[in-house]
Amino acid sequence: MARNDDGMYHNFRLSRRNPIHIRINEILSDLNKDVYRSKNQFIADALEYYINALENDTMTNSENIKKQKMNTYVTKGELELLKENIKNEVVKEVQKEMISILGNFSGNMAKGIVADNLKTIDKDNDDLNENTTLLGLAEMWGE
């Protein structure tokens, strides 16, 4: 009868002439079974530790392809599209803030709170008329 084996097999060879391989063989041969269940588990743990240590490195082909895609140049069209998207988001946020400010201002005017504060504003120090961007946005809201 055939065994139901769901293992994945990877064989490797250690050379008797390479000092690093000799040391690895000595460690694997004299492995403490109380600490490590098997040689396979020891090797798997060692590989996992090594892979985690090199997390940002490109060890596999798929990681290398991902890194190359991330390092591609941006075209002028893509840059313009990105600028347009950012501009649209900023305009939406400014519109939301303006609605909120106008709502608070009109609500406070209805309560009579702003009337007292308007007396303290000095017309000479008001630099809102100098800011053309703010005036343009305010005129846009008035239309």
Q: Model confidence over 76-92: pLDDT tens digits?
A: 898 999 999 999 999 99
Q: Which of 24-38, 78-92, 125-139 has the lowest mean pLDDT?
A: 125-139
pTM of the model: 0.38
Residues 81 and 122 in one domain: yes
Alpha carbon separation from 141 to 62, 102, 103, 105, 135 (Å, rounded):
52, 10, 13, 15, 10
2 in a domain, yes or no?
no
**Contact 29/19 with Cβ under 8 angstroms?**
no
Domain that holds residue 66: 19-70
Is pLDDT of 120 > 60?
no
Backbone angles phi, psi at 38, to 5 degrees: -155, 170
Alpha carbon separation from 133 to 81, 93, 130 (Å, rounded):
23, 15, 9
Q: What is the pLDDT of residue 117?
A: 55
Q: Of the candidates 52, 70, 88, which is a domain's last residue?
A: 70
